[in-house]
Amino acid sequence: MRTPPWHVGLLVPDNNTTMHVELPAWLAAGSTCRRVGIPRAPGLLTLPDLDPYVAHAMRLAEAFAGATDVTVYGCTAAGILAGPSRDATIAADLTAITGTPAVTTAGAMLAWLRAQSARRIALVTPYSDAVNAQLAGFLGAASIEVQALSTFRAAGVDELGRITAEQVAERADALMAREGSGCDALFIGCSQLPTHSILAGLQARHPCPVSSSIHATAWQVVEQMGAHVAA
């Protein structure tokens, strides 16, 4: 077991301006994050993009070998498109390359929802209908049903990057008021969406457990590293 604080090696899409700031804020004091951006096209990630994207991420991960305590693959959409089995393979490959435990955001989402015994969830995303369908299938393979969905349908990375934490909170509150009755959890998907400043308020306002891609990733880092600190 490596006790905290930890030095995280973070692989995220080039356009992600949120995760390297919020992830260490949910870890033990003194934890740091070394961000490496994965180049990508201006549009949102699609299935044909996946193979070259993952291959590039693996090459970039070599920079973390011997230099970090844990590796995080912080792209929810890429994990969704890959599917649960391949996402687990990506984590294993990252461990082989870096020699450290590896966490994927998509895998962390599943792990957190399973830990809550969630079977029906309310979900907020920025994704297109096609990616939301992929996400529903990803969760469905783990017997988790998206009972209520609200999406920004961001047309590209620039629009995605303009979504504020306040907008996310407003959309989550509206979704829960409209369709959240009976949901086992509220989840905010996408590691670009800012949630650190709003998650506690959402949890206070809603009766079910609340998490987000970045929060769940921090929670899974704690689980993987074998230390019990607040995440």
Strands (E), the chain: 7-13, 32-38, 70-73, 102-104, 120-125, 145-151, 185-188, 210-212
Band of residue 1 on the pLDDT scale cut at 50, 70, 90: low
**In the prediction, which pLDDT does 153 show?**
96
DSSP output for 111-133 = HHHHHTT-SEEEEEE---HHHHH
Whether the per-residue pLDDT at 150 is higher than 60: the answer is yes
Per-domain residue ranges of the chain? 7-105+216-225, 108-212
- Integer CA distances (angstroms), 221 to 81, 93, 145, 176, 177, in order: 22, 17, 25, 28, 32
In tens, the pLDDT along 26-52 reads 999 999 999 999 987 766 777 788 899
Whether the per-residue pLDDT at 83 is higher than 80: the answer is yes
7-105+216-225 matches 108-212 in fold: yes
Whether the per-residue pLDDT at 112 is higher than 50: the answer is yes
Tokens 């461990």 belong to: 95
CATH hierarchy code of domain 7-105+216-225: 3.40.50.12500
- Taking the C-alpha atoms of residue 79 and residue 127, their distance in angstroms, rounded to an integer, is 14
**Structure tokens, 201:** 């308020």
**In the prediction, which pLDDT does 156 show?**
86
- Taking the C-alpha atoms of residue 69 and residue 67, their distance in angstroms, rounded to an integer, is 7
In tens, the pLDDT along 153-198 reads 998 889 999 999 999 999 999 999 999 999 999 999 999 999 999 9
7 strand-pairing partners: 32
- Integer CA distances (angstroms), 182 to 139, 179, 186, in order: 18, 8, 11
pTM: 0.94
**Structure tokens, 118:** 């969630």
Mean pLDDT of the 80-86 span: 91
Whether the per-residue pLDDT at 101 is higher than 60: the answer is yes
**In the prediction, which pLDDT does 230 show?**
38
CATH hierarchy code of domain 108-212: 3.40.50.12500
